[in-house]
Structure formats: structure tokens, C-alpha cells
Amino acid sequence: MSEVVNRLAAALDAHDLEAAAALFHHDYRSSQPAHPGRAFVGRAQMHANWQAIFAGIPDIHTELVGSVDDGNTTWSEWDWTGHRADGQRFRARGVILFEITEGLITAGRLYMEELENDEEGIEEAVHSMSGRTPDKPQGTPDKPQD
């Protein structure tokens, strides 16, 4: 199964839309659990989406960081980088779970997110989520040490 995802990564990184689309079942189902309105069905929509991505981010580089097979599901981690047509930097990271049957991708659950440009720290993120700022443990540095 990882072989299919490896071929997908190579096709996307080469901007070979037809080779990438050929790996998807005609009735491919896509969902983004954090963004339910983005769900769609069909290889044709996948093709249209990536055609727009290649046009809007002409130098996109899609890196498959790693993948693990679990039954008919391949868990894959991705890093996408490039520049939009207007020159603005683009970067997204995340995980995609692909269901694969008979060598075709039949479904995908995408947990991909564009990287934030600001440097919101964990305290601000917890506050945004909960309305409360966590206490800082004693002796904890403000930023992780490299």
C-alpha cells in the first residue's frame, strides 16, 4: 500500500497530474475532519483541485515524510512547500490517511494545515482554545532550547 502512496508523492512532486489522478478510484471520497465543508467525491474533483494547486503554486514541492500501512489504510505524513503565483510563500504540513483497494486510493482523510505565519506560543494557543492561560511551570524557559 505504501507503494501507491510513494507513487503518488513522486507524481505530485513531478507535477504529473495525470499520473497522480490515475492512482485514484473514480469514486474517491475525500474528507477533512477539521473542515467538514471541504469534503468531496470523485477523481474528477481531485484532478481539478490539483490542477488549480499547480497553477497557483507553480513551484510546489510535495514531500512524503513517512508512511505506515495498517490494513487497507496507509497513514502518511506530508510537507508541502512553494510560492504562490504572486510570490507569497506557501507551506503546509500534516497527515493524510489513505484507504487503498486493489491498487487504487478509494478514500482520504486529510489533516493538512497551512503553517501559520505568526509565532503564537502554546500559552496563547491554549488560551484561544479554552479561554484560560496555563500556569508556567517553575524553571521552564520561555522558548525551547535548540
The answer to whether position 13 is within a domain reads yes
Q: What rounded mean pLDDT belongs to the chain? A: 92
Domain CATH code at residue 19: 3.10.450.50
pLDDT of residue 135: 85
Integer-rounded Cα Rg, in Å, for the chain is: 18
Range of the domain at 98: 2-129
pLDDT of residue 143: 61
The answer to whether position 104 is within a domain reads yes
Mean pLDDT over 118-140 rounds to: 78
Question: 0.85 exceeded by the pTM?
Answer: no
Mean pLDDT over 10-14 rounds to: 97
| Number of domains forming the structure of the chain | 1
Mean pLDDT over 38-64 rounds to: 97
- Percent of the chain, pLDDT > 70? 92
Give the pLDDT band (50/70/90) at residue 125. Answer: confident
The answer to whether position 58 is within a domain reads yes
The answer to whether position 115 is within a domain reads yes
pLDDT of residue 136: 81
The answer to whether position 93 is within a domain reads yes
The answer to whether position 97 is within a domain reads yes
The answer to whether position 92 is within a domain reads yes
